Amino acid sequence: MVFERKMLTYGDPDDEEEDAPAEEEEEEEEEEEEEDMVDPIDTIRAKCEQTEHCVHTRERLETCEARVSSRSTTLEDCTEELFDFLHARDHCHISLAALKHTRQRDFHTIQ
């Protein structure tokens, strides 16, 4: 009788095992849905990397990386070139975001 009360109170251990696969399936479905989402900043950065200034700074970075990797010993690193590229890309990104924000603000002002 005590055993039956414990089972009613705490549930049957076998029932928990049956629920576990269903919970795992729900988690997998949620993960699949999350994978479909694309971060807008990645899209904007990809567009910015195609601009003339970003292409130029990327070429300088790749040239530096090739030069450094071709040498067995060197003190040179490509930090400056990397920062130049990231700065150019982020500057473009900020400009696009500001332009989008301005357009939305102007649109709401007109209405």
Regarding pTM above 0.75, the answer is: no
Tell me how far apart the 2 most distant CA atoms of the chain are, in Å: 80
- Alpha-carbon gap, residue 37 to 29, rounded angstroms: 13
Percent of the chain scoring above 70 in pLDDT: 59
Cβ atoms within 10 Å of 96's Cβ, excluding its own: 15
What CATH topology corresponds to 40-110? Answer: Helix Hairpins (1.10.287)
Q: Tally Cβ neighbours within 10 Å of residue 40.
A: 9
Q: What is the C-alpha separation between 102 and 111, in angstroms, rounded?
A: 14
Reported as a single tens digit per residue, the pLDDT across 67-110 is 999 998 889 999 999 999 999 999 998 887 777 767 665 545 55
